[in-house]
Amino acid sequence: MNASPVKVGDHVTLPLDSLAVGGETVGRHEGMAVFALFGCPGDTAEVEITEVARSFARGIVRRVVSPSPDRVETPCPHFGDCGGCQIQHISYQAQLRHKTAMVRDSLARIGGLTGVEVADAWGMENPWFYRNRAEYHAQMTSSGDVILGFSRHHTHEVIGLTECRLQHPLSERIRQAVVQLMARVAQSPVERAALLGVETLVSFASGKGIATLVCDGRPPFVESLAQGLVEQVPALAGVLAARRRGRTPHRSPGEVIVGEEHIVEEIGSGRYRVSADSFFQSSPAQAARAVELVKQWSEVGEGEVVLDLYSGVGTFLLPLAQSARRAIGVEESAAAVRDANANLRRWRAHNVKLWERKVERILPRWADQGRKADVVILDPPRKGCGPVVLAHVARLQPRRIVLVSCHPATLARDLKNLSEHGYACRRLQPIDMFPQTWHIETVAVCEGAQA
């Protein structure tokens, strides 16, 4: 076996060529691929090697020898420490180009798909202050104070924020108020350590928001903190509390302490109730463009049945139901189904049936029963649908499948699986819902041989 040309701790200078999934920039040193954090395609940079595997290495840009014309100054004082952003140092138009290229590369390299039309990514008019949801982590300082922020790259260490230019300003006001109030409502460092995080959800339509206090158990300061927040932040419509043990990823459902448990958001001309525990697209403006595209590419007819898997609060399901004979949504989150039922009443959608089930459990039964669907919408979590779900989708014999994905790699794998079942992908449209980060939403349309 040939020895690696680099080892951990080495500093190597190399040109950086492209943006990779994860936000690193890729270059080559003596034939080995090097993934460099904080690089910009077009840079020549000195990279410190932090990890070496058999066929690649990872590192961090320590010095830019020759900057790319796409490299820009970053407005955020935390960039480079905070893990919330990865590519803020790349001009926004260049971000869109590189994200489009990343989708195309994933299709070819992972999916083995050629001849697919991939349009240029749709960008945001304003790529700042666009997020409607924040998940701030809490941590104690050596002096016993609470800080709220995001984790440092690849660590659990929390960076205490002075600002975040991705979040809606109300989220930031809530974060600042929590930090100020904790010194007053929690008397000791031990008590303050029970606050594990704060989650916010803001309506761009109304300017109102809700906050969820995530705690280890139910500390005595929760009620006082909640009351203080709604008094100090008038736009805060409600405060909830949830329980979590340490750094485990899952928390309990939120319990209302003060005020409301949901917000109402607008996507295009439609209004949706969204609760703190429900998934909803991070940018309402870009979500509206995605909804219109899904409607256009679905081409649902009056006599047709549309099936929306991972249907959430009804973001795609309700607009599509307006054109269909019958619409069916499947969603495993109880909170999202409650919101979706409220939205059915709001939209007066009488031709919609909702199922609170896991997609992978209900689909095989439907396929065994010989059920059919004319159009299937798939909007899975980041891990994608997977081969089992897609095999059963194909058994429903839809004429068209529209897949909405937030991860280029799992998108490519899912499209490859669909092609093996006779559903060829014709067109993809990347939609940037996550400026300053490597993430990209993509809408893809697939047609069966019978279409």
Range 394-415 average pLDDT? 97
CA 346, CA 352: separation in Å to the nearest integer?
13
How does residue 299 score in pLDDT terms, banded at 50, 70 and 90? very high
Annotated active-site residue in 40, 82, 406, 446:
406
425 is catalytic: no
Delimit the CATH 2.40.50.140 region(s) of the chain: 11-71
- Are 405 and 442 spatial neighbours (Cβ–Cβ below 8 Å)? yes
Residues of the chain with pLDDT > 70, as a percent, come to 99
What distance in Å separates the CA atoms of residue 432 and residue 285, rounded to the nearest whole number? 11
Query: Architecture of domain 133-266 in CATH?
Result: Beta Barrel (2.40)
Return the H-helix or E-strand segment holding 102: helix 92-109
Lowest mean pLDDT among 4-18, 49-63, 82-96, 239-253: 239-253
pTM: 0.94
Cα–Cα dist 451/353, whole Å: 26
CATH topology of domain 100-124+282-448: Rossmann fold (3.40.50)
pLDDT per residue over 116-127, tens digit each? Answer: 999 999 999 999
Predicted local confidence at residue 450, as pLDDT:
60
Domain with CATH 2.40.50.1070 in the chain: 133-266
> What is the assigned CATH class of domain 11-71?
mainly beta
Angle at CA of residue 376, ends 375 and 382, nearest 5° = 155
pLDDT 10s digits, 1-43: 567 898 999 999 999 999 999 999 999 999 999 999 999 999 9
Count Cα neighbours of 441 within 13 Å in the Cβ-side half-sphere: 25
Q: Indicate the helix (H) or strand (E) that contains 359.
A: helix 359-368
Kindly tell me the burial class for residue 54, based on how many C-beta atoms sit within 10 Å of its own C-beta (0-12, 13-18, 19 or more). exposed
pLDDT at 449: 67
What's the chain's average pLDDT? 95
Q: What is the mean pLDDT of residues 300-327?
A: 97
- CATH 3.40.50.150 boundaries in the chain: 100-124+282-448
